[in-house]
Amino acid sequence: MNFDPMKIPWSLLGLVIVFTIGMFIRGIVPKITARAGMRIGIRFYQPWIDLIKHFSIQTSITHGVMFYLGPVFRLTGGVSMILFMPLIYGSWYFSNFAFAGDMVLFLYMMFFGTLGMALGAGESGHPYSAIGVSRGLAQVTVAEIPLVLALLSVAAQHNTLSITEIVAAQQGGISHWTMVTNPVATMAGMLALLGSMMNSPFNVVLAPQEIPVGPPTEYHGTFLGIMNTNRSIFPVAKVVFFMNIFFGGATNWGILILKSFIIYMWPVFVGLVFPRFRVDQSIRWFLKVPMLLGILAVALI
């Protein structure tokens, strides 16, 4: 990797843009899901109000250093995913610090944030924290199996682990997208995305209406603000990654926003249709069709 310090301000600008996109998506999507349930829903700018409120509150409660490093590790994972991934293909300004083999780093940082939160929850002292940790790590691990298989298939197809080179190979129209040239890997990856985004039926970690605890309850003040900041960066980073790998990338911000929103809505739509799985059902599901599609994708290449 050739580090160019001149890219630092542009990479930070790209990070701010991604964060802004994520904040607006977090305000619009609950409105859409509420309308689907014949409700009014929140104001689209509510995430901004919540974020300001969280960062304006201080706390004197302590649970140990690792408990408060959890949100920091989580945010570090999301920020790193953005900084080491090209956002706009063909743009020097928003190519960030992409390098050969950055796909491997992206997968590592995707798991880094989850592991950090698991370590933080483990120091909370709450009797149910072990349940959340075991659920989260089990589902994330099993969901990454079909994703890794799909990415291995795409890497073998294009003979590279560079996200930029994979995007370059997809230029020239929809017929060159991985979605068309390797549909089996795309299907495996998009099914794996359902577990990665943790919408219903795979929201087994927080388990609404079942376990009234977890990070949104145990963390507070600035630390909750850090978590909510990452909630606007981490999901968008993942959908931009999927856009780059399977759907031709983006050559301008308009295309990036459009494609990212469509990919983001895929788990949201599934969550509106299907009720939540139990933990054992979720794990078995990923070990069936998604994993078989991933194995088939590798075998075909």
Tokens standing for 177? 């997208």
pLDDT attached to residue 153: 95
Per the model's pLDDT, the better-predicted residue between 192 and 65 turns out to be 192
Determine whether 286 is exposed, middle or buried from the number of CB atoms within 10 Å of its CB (0-12, 13-18, 19+): buried
pTM confidence score: 0.90
Q: How far apart are alpha carbons 86 and 188 in whole angstroms?
A: 23
Lowest mean pLDDT: which of 1-15, 206-220, 226-240?
A: 206-220
Share above pLDDT 70 across residues of the chain, in percent, rounded to a whole number: 94
Structural domain that includes position 176 = 5-300
Indicate the SS3 state at residue 89.
coil
Q: How far apart are alpha carbons 284 and 246 in whole angstroms?
A: 25
Cβ–Cβ < 8 Å for 256, 240: yes
Lowest mean pLDDT: which of 50-54, 101-105, 150-154, 211-215?
A: 211-215
Q: How far apart are alpha carbons 48 and 67 in whole angstroms?
A: 25
At residue 231 the predicted structure's pLDDT band, cuts being 50, 70 and 90, is confident
The mean pLDDT of the chain is 86
Lowest mean pLDDT: which of 228-237, 257-266, 273-282?
A: 273-282
Q: Over the stretch 127-147, which tens digit does the pLDDT of each residue have?
A: 777 777 777 788 888 888 999
With left for phi above 0 and alpha for psi between -120 and 50, is residue 177 left, alpha or beta? beta
- Mean of pLDDT values over 79-95: 91
With left for phi above 0 and alpha for psi between -120 and 50, is residue 219 left, alpha or beta? beta
pLDDT attached to residue 209: 55
pLDDT attached to residue 1: 55
Split into its structural domains, the chain has a count of 1
Tokens standing for 79? 């920020």
- Mean of pLDDT values over 206-227: 69
Q: Over the stretch 3-32, which tens digit does the pLDDT of each residue have?
A: 678 888 999 999 999 999 999 999 999 898
> Is the pLDDT at 191 greater than 90, yes or no?
yes
pLDDT attached to residue 212: 53
